[in-house]
Amino acid sequence: MRERQGKVFDVKDHVGQIADVFSGMVGEYEGLIRGFHTIYLDDSRTDEYKRQQRASTANAIYDLVNGRVNSAKAVIESVKDEYRDTGDAPSMGADEKVFNLLYWKEVLPYADYNELHQHYTENKTDPVFKKLLFNEFSRREQEEPANYNMTEQQNLIAEVNSVMQFPELDKLETILHHVANTARETFNPGLESFIRTGQGSLNPRSISKDMDAFPIEGPGAGHRPLFSIPENQK
């Protein structure tokens, strides 16, 4: 767990909303495959038309997966933004800007590191303040290093410069990127469960083989029912 601005980040608090993006995707995939099978088994259709529909189905599956992945990535980015030090620069008139500039120039040289931290917390979205703060850091290091605690200064500089890291979400984004890039060849029915639980596997399936798995009528070994992905693979 990591903390920023009083918020504690735990990836388990957010995997549900990311996984929700993929809810129903397996059913849509099954529908696309079944739709192609219907056309393939239609004797009134030409072979050329069937080839065209096979390509169209593959494109539709690619669009389905990539659309869901892009939505999931947007959710991930919004989660990251909840914990980042984000914010717009304050809107101020010319008089207020001049007052703040003079005030900061007066107080920063005499502030201890706790006070510098407090000033930073209150004014971190103001680019002028941040420039003055770093100027003060440089002055202390160059002019009077013996009079200041350089360890405290480096810690404060590190905090100002820090960007909160999200390795779990970054790993998930890498997986999603792979899923999207391979969506013309494979479909991953276990993706939603994998994200939600962090366990199991993606269970990639060959899209080409699924399109070839059209229903076969009749009893016995040759019988094959309407296409469906087994529950244990979802």
Between 21 and 234, the more confident residue is: 21
Residue range 15-39: mean pLDDT, rounded: 97
The residue type of 199 is Q
Whether 90 shows a pLDDT value over 80: the answer reads no
- Cα–Cα distance between 92 and 137 in angstroms, integer? 25
Of the listed ranges 15-24, 89-98, 216-225, the one predicted with least confidence: 216-225
3-state helix, strand, coil in the chain (%, to 5): 65, 5, 30
Residue 148: both structure tokens together: 């200041």
Please say whether the beta carbons of 61 and 183 come within 8 A: yes
Residue range 218-233: mean pLDDT, rounded: 80
pLDDT band at 6 (very low <50, low <70, confident <90, very high): low
- How far CA 169 is from CA of 29, 66, 72, 87, in Å, comes to 26, 18, 11, 22
- Cα–Cα distance between 175 and 204 in angstroms, integer? 12
Whether 81 shows a pLDDT value over 90: the answer reads no
Residue 201: both structure tokens together: 């596997």
pLDDT in tens, 101-128: 999 999 999 999 999 999 998 888 888 9
Please say whether the beta carbons of 76 and 174 come within 8 A: no
pLDDT in tens, 162-211: 767 899 999 999 999 999 999 999 999 999 999 999 888 888 999 999 99
